[in-house]
Amino acid sequence: MQQATKEDLIYTIICAIPEGKVASYGQVAKLAGYPNNSRLVGRLLKVMPEGSNIPWHRVVNSQGKISFPEGSNKHLEQRQKLLSEGITFNKAKINMRLHQWD
- Residue 9 makes CB contacts below 8 A (sequence gap 6+) with 32, 33, 34
pLDDT per position as a tens digit, 52-83: 999 999 999 999 999 999 999 999 999 999 99
- 40 φψ region: left (φ > 0), alpha (ψ -120 to 50), beta (else): alpha
Pairing of strands 23-24, 59-60: parallel
User: Could you tell me the pTM of the whole model?
Assistant: 0.94
| Per-residue pLDDT at 35 | 95
Contact 16, 54 (CB under 8 A): no
Q: Any bridge partners for residue 67, and if so which?
A: none
Q: Which domains does the chain have, with CATH numbers?
A: 6-99 (1.10.10.10)
Asked if residue 84 has pLDDT above 80, the reply is yes
What's the Cα-to-Cα distance from 83 to each of 20, 45, 58, rounded to whole Å?
9, 20, 11
- Identify the helix (H) or strand (E) that includes residue 39: helix 38-46
Whether residue 1 is predicted with pLDDT greater than 70 in this model: the reply is: no
Nearest to 19 by CA among 89, 64, 85, 96: 85
pLDDT band at 49; cut points 50, 70, 90: confident
